[in-house]
Amino acid sequence: VEEDEVLGIALLVDYRVIIFLSAQGRMRGVLSVEILVIRRIRARKELFASTVKKKVTRARSARSREWLEGKSLLWMVVMRKRIT
């Protein structure tokens, strides 16, 4: 049985995807991460892109996380780890 575990949230600002993960060290042993890109239009969220699988090697630094928190939320990317 497969189960999804939300690992973190990223923002896409000016067509650049900047990803940060939770700092709890859950990335060890992760083979792939599904990135679901959700576009926020007014009060609605629409699926913007199909699921993309990427290999993740490490979490971003606290500096990147602070930079992201200061930016406007134009896009939201939810990353989920596929657990088997």
- HEC string of 29-64 equals CCCCEEEEEEEEECCEEEECCCCEEECCCCCCCHHH
pLDDT of residue 13: 38
| Least confidently predicted of 1-10, 25-34, 50-59 | 50-59
Domain housing 79: 3-83
**How many domains does the chain fold into?**
1
Closest-CA residue to 60 (of 11, 14, 4): 11
Is the pLDDT assigned to residue 38 strictly greater than 50? no
- What is the pLDDT, as a whole number, of residue 39? 42
Query: Does the pLDDT at position 28 exceed 50?
Result: no
Q: How does pLDDT run across 51-73, given as a tens digit for each residue?
A: 333 433 334 444 455 554 544 34
Is the pTM of the predicted complex or chain greater than 0.95?
no
